[in-house]
Amino acid sequence: MDVYSLAWTHDAPLSEVVDQDERNELARALMSRSEDILHLCQRKYVAQAPEMTLEVAARHPMWDIVSVAVKAIADWLETGLGAGAPARQRIDSLGNAAAIDQETAIAGRTPDKSTVGPVLPEQGEGPSGVLSVALVTKLNLWWKDTTCLVLEEEGARLAIGRDTIDAATDMVERSCNSSIVRMAKQYDLELQDLHARLVDLANHDQLTGLANRAVFLARLETAIARIGRHPGGLAVVFIDLDDFKAVNDAFGHSRGDELLTALAERFRDEMRPEDTVARFGGDEFVALFEDLISPAREARALAERLHRVITEPITIAGEPLYITASIGVAVVTDVSYPSEEVLAQADMTMYGVKRTGRNQVAMVELGGELHPAAFAMASELHRALDGDGLSLAYQPAFEAKSGALVGFEALCRWTHPDRGPISPVDFIPIAEESGLMPALGSWVLAEASHQLAAWSEMSDTSLTMAINVSGRQLADPMFSTLVEESLARTGIRPHQVVLEITESILLGEHVNYEAVLARLNEVGVRLSIDDFGTGYSSLAYLRRFPVDQIKVDRGFVQDVAEHGDTRIMGAVVRLAHDLDLEVVAEGVENEAERLIVQLLGCDVMQGFLLGYPLTPQLIEEKFFAGASVG
């Protein structure tokens, strides 16, 4: 900004009564005292800044304006014309330097040294070390007073007429006044512009120009409030790039920044006008999609679209880079959710994707069912997955005829640091609703597989491990890959792993699991239908899906024991055997039930009569006493 545009930059007419020879003589005398004027101004500056030394003060570039201003008055005395183009450019450049210095002080930013010039050393700064509007005003006044004093002294010494001296001092006075007024206007404009830029910085990510966390949460709060007045819902999409550190390590942080900026542009292109995309720092991006008529369907489509544009190659420094991202989506159709809670749900869902193989989109739907207490439990379960609050108990399973140990079922347990043990009946539904089930299931698969590998080395028989699998896990196209990787890491044989799936999952109308089940069958793991016969099931799915085993619900066993009618359970066992399926009877709790299971021809049995779920240590003491790994 032109802070120092003085009045003498415009032509001012000469009075006819003024003697030109006197004007020329006074101009030369004024120029000869230019250094005196400069030094007098510097002394006044130091006098009002006690910690400042004259040597340090003299190094500040602001003093150049004094020499320029003195020469401009001298030129006017000789020619009657205002400052020429070079002087004006110099004044403008000094004004810009002052404005930049002022911005630096307000914004707390590091000035561009090449533009501003040398600044005062730290020990010499203080309140007067920055070109503030107050300091530049004082500089104008010091220059005016000192220049007028020198004009009076030189006029008296040279016997210059009063009219010439008065004309010169009057021009100095008018120049100073005009300069101060124009300077104040320019500073006001500059500070308005600076304020606008500071507001922009406060609301946007500096690297990508996207909205920041504060703005995003404010817009999310408004969007949630609108759900109560409009049908439909909204979705928050949490995006975390996979292994972005490798990009920075391989190409440098500047190339990483280029990649983030390019991604931000892609996201902008994909967003609708009413949507918001933000960067939370690092490689985390979050998108808000509002006014969704069919929230779940539209949210998944929009998230998948963002996922596609991420995986498209990005050219950096002439090389195509390929990246992937883990994406969690929280769909909201209820106004009872605070914005931070919704964001946390999307984050947790993304976290679940990270733990189950990355490079996928997972979604959780938040209606009115996940209340604050449940959300708190979900958050604590999230932390337990990263800590040591989770464990597995193992219930043994036995061959029905011989009673020999054939395997175990892995059952998840959670011990809360404050509330103690929390029942799976309470936390498994929360894991499902909050989107943590894939992460929890992945943890169980890894733990149970490692445990089976250890016990297999202690046993002469090929033990099996039954692991419960949720519908959300089966819906993940990468689930079969996760199972294969677990087998490869532990060295256990595929047929030793039995994945238990409830029949209600297979009979659901929303997801087709045939492809993933077929792939698991190819891998060689066994598939079991848990809680068989508890619902409205059609037996047709026993042929449709590659099932190896059914687990007859405890209710069948109890019914036979209480009423003596074996027809239904007997038919189920015969049908299963006709289809070459193994039958497991669960919930055997007394001798009568055990005898019934054996009589009806079940292959495997488990229940409290035979063995409670136990810790690995107790399992080893009971079944592998004296065994050694080796």
Q: Which domains does the chain have, with CATH numbers?
A: 7-203 (no CATH), 204-368 (3.30.70.270), 371-624 (3.20.20.450)
What's residue 209's pLDDT?
Answer: 86
| Distance in angstroms between the alpha carbons of the first and the last residue of the chain | 81
* DSSP E strand stretches across 169-283: 233-241, 276-281
CA distance 102 to 105: 5
Reading the block at residue 398, the tokens are: 């036995």
Surface-to-core class of residue 266, CB atoms within 10 Å of its CB (0-12 exposed, 13-18 middle, 19+ buried): middle
Long-range residue pairs from 508-512, CB within 8 A, at least 24 positions apart, any chain: 508/471, 511/471, 511/474, 511/475
- Beta-carbon contacts of 218 under 8 Å, excluding residues fewer than 6 positions away, are none
Instruction: Return the SS3 of 72.
Output: helix
Over 430-482, what HEC string results?
Answer: HHHHHCCHHHHHHHHHHHHHHHHHHHHCCCCCCCEEEEECCHHHHCCCCHHHH
- Beta-carbon contacts of 284 under 8 Å, excluding residues fewer than 6 positions away, are 238, 239, 240
Contact 243, 310 (CB under 8 A): no
Alpha-carbon torsion angle 175, 181, 184, 189, nearest 10: -110
User: Closest by alpha carbon to 346, among 236, 475, 433, 220?
Assistant: 236
What's residue 358's pLDDT?
Answer: 75
Q: Cα 607 from chain centroid?
A: 47
Which of 521-554 are b and which e, b meaning 16 or more Cβ less than 10 Å from the residue's Cβ?
Answer: beeebbbbbbbbbeeebeeeebeebebbbbbbbb
Please give the DSSP secondary-structure letter assigned to residue 580.
Answer: T
Contact 310, 324 (CB under 8 A): yes
Contact 297, 235 (CB under 8 A): no
What's residue 124's pLDDT?
Answer: 39
Give the position of tokens 């000192």: 146
pTM of the model: 0.53
User: Closest by alpha carbon to 458, among 616, 218, 628, 325?
Assistant: 628
Reading the block at residue 484, the tokens are: 């294969």
Reading the block at residue 541, the tokens are: 């799915």
The ranges of the chain with pLDDT < 50 are 1-17, 109-129, 368, 509-510, 536, 628-630
What's residue 191's pLDDT?
Answer: 65
Surface-to-core class of residue 392, CB atoms within 10 Å of its CB (0-12 exposed, 13-18 middle, 19+ buried): buried
What's residue 535's pLDDT?
Answer: 54
Give the position of tokens 């976290």: 351
Please give the DSSP secondary-structure letter assigned to residue 133.
Answer: H
What's residue 525's pLDDT?
Answer: 94
498: left (phi over 0), alpha (psi -120 to 50) or beta: beta
CA distance 388 to 386: 7
Which element (helix H / strand E) includes 132? Answer: none
